[in-house]
Amino acid sequence: MKRIGFLTSGGDCQSLNATMRGVAKTLYEKIEDVEIIGVLDGYKGLIYGNYKKLNPRDFSGILTEGGTIIGTSRQPFKLMREPDENGMDKVKAMKNNYAKWKLDCLVILGGNGTHKTANLLSEEGLNVVTCPKTIDNDLYGTDMTFGFQSAVNIATAAIDNIHTTASSHSRVFIVEVMGHSVGWLTLHAGIAGGADIVLIPEIPYDIDKVVDAINKRTEQGKKFSILAVAEGALSKEDVKLSKKDIKKKMKMYPSVSYMIGAEIEEKTGQEIRIMVPGHTQRGGIPCPYDRVISSRLGAAAAELIIKEKYGYMVGIRNNEIVPVPLSEVAGKIKAVNPDSSIIREAKNLGICFGD
């Protein structure tokens, strides 16, 4: 008999339920006697002792459902070692609940922050297996995270729709894509959507290069230009500023696209249109690609539990699911390498990165 806890943490994304279904179906299939509980609203539920029992029926029909059936919340890692407002020791509380619930293992689905805490819990002696969730695809140790491809599809659809409009009106269109610290999502959506200019955090841009690229298109008789801009794109000047100064500078703009748009409008005299699909990129039905990797990751996570092999994230490397030690994952980030072949290929296609 085994008792397993499920926990989803951080920003939600499209294939959380599909992944949990993968773990659950495999556990129910392979273990005679298994009980699954859902820890509610991320680490908050683990700290404050909130959970609900889950039955096979709860996992039926959720393969295609966005969101998470057990809720999620953001619990910054840096506060984990600090007491809460009532002076309670969070780590101790989590360990206590784990013990009280008689868990054999905790399956944690989350991104970078989540994995730091997961590693901490593992180091504190809890049995932990994790799954790589994020639309940002920035988790170290795995080629791909679930949620990413679904988000690419939504961001690309936004760019696609703009294309038909753009071809009739002479304007510059900016689609702002999610991604505060990495540009995977913007890069893939930009290539897939045929964006002319792609600005990502990993490649600080020179606004004059961007303006040149737009003007060159205009000279070639192309009526419009489309920019895919990551939320966290930064200019070569701004990258030197402190976080505080950036925040200050950004204060008058609702987001980075409005600042970039204002500059382009001023320097090119062209009309600017800004689209911010925002949280729509995290939502909706997971795409088949994500459902396949989620199902596989889930099944592989369950295999680790069955083998009592704890302290690992299941990751994807060369199309195979592999266990990656949590200590290798936690605290690192997988960013776009400006010298990588995908960037070279994108530049060959004529995409301007502003560098």
Output the CA angle 200-205-209, nearest 5 degrees.
130
Provide the minimum distance between the beta carbon of 114 and a copy of itself in the complex, in angstroms, as a whole number: 14
Given 5, 12, 94, 118, the residue binding a copy of itself (CB under 8 A): 12
Q: How far apart are CA 196 and CA 130, in angstroms?
A: 38
Among 281, 312, 313, 324, binds a copy of itself (CB under 8 A): 281
In the complex, the smallest distance separating the C-beta of residue 26 from a copy of itself, rounded to whole angstroms, is: 4
Task: Taking each helix axis as running N to C, give the angle between helix 90-100 and helix 112-123, from 0 to 180 degrees, rounded to the nearest 10.
Answer: 70
Residues between 315 and 354 with contacts to a copy of itself, criterion CB under 8 A:
317-321, 341-342, 345-346, 348-350
**String of contacts with a copy of itself for each residue 251-270, x by CB under 8 A:** ---x---x------------
Active site residue 136: yes
| Torsion of Cα atoms, 196 then 199 then 204 then 206, to 10° | 40
Q: Beta strands 312-317 and 320-325: pairing type?
A: antiparallel
Torsion over CA of 135, 44, 71 and 67, rounded to 10 degrees? 0
Query: Residues 47, 154, 203, 227: which binds a copy of itself (CB under 8 A)?
Result: 154
Task: Characterize the bridge pairing of strands 105-110 and 128-132.
Answer: parallel
Among positions 289, 328, 338, 355, the unique one binding a copy of itself when judged by CB under 8 A: 289
* Chain residues 191-210 in contact with a copy of itself, contact rule CB under 8 A: 191-194
Q: Residue 86 is which amino acid?
A: N
| One residue of 44, 90, 116, 296 binding a copy of itself per CB under 8 A | 296
Determine the Cα–Cα distance for residues 335 and 140; give it in Å rounded to an integer. 9
Active-site position among 41, 58, 136, 138: 136
Part in contact with a copy of itself (CB under 8 A); list of ranges 43-51, 106-114, 126-134, 183-191: 183-191
At a CB cut-off of 8 Å and minimum separation 6, what does 322 contact?
Answer: 314, 315, 316
Nearest distance from C-beta of residue 310 to a copy of itself, angstroms:
18
Residue with tokens 């806890």: 5
Among 61, 83, 125, 331, binds a copy of itself (CB under 8 A): 61
Q: With contacts defined by CB under 8 A, name the span among 98-106, 108-116, 185-193, 200-208 that binds a copy of itself.
A: 185-193
Question: Is 66 an interacting residue with respect to a copy of itself (CB under 8 A)?
Answer: yes
CB 19 within 8 A of CB 144: no
User: Does the protein bind a copy of itself through residue 76 (CB under 8 A)?
Assistant: no
- Fill in the amino acid letter for 276: V
Residue that the structure tokens 């273990």 belong to: 31
Distance CA 120, CA 172 (A): 47
The stretch near a copy of itself (CB under 8 A) out of 88-96, 97-105, 200-208, 298-306 is 298-306
**Binding to a copy of itself in span 300-319, by CB under 8 A:** 300, 302-303, 317-319
Is position 115 an interface residue for a copy of itself (rule: CB under 8 A)? no
CB closer to a copy of itself out of 128 and 346: 346
Beta strands 197-199 and 225-230 are: parallel
Active site members: 136
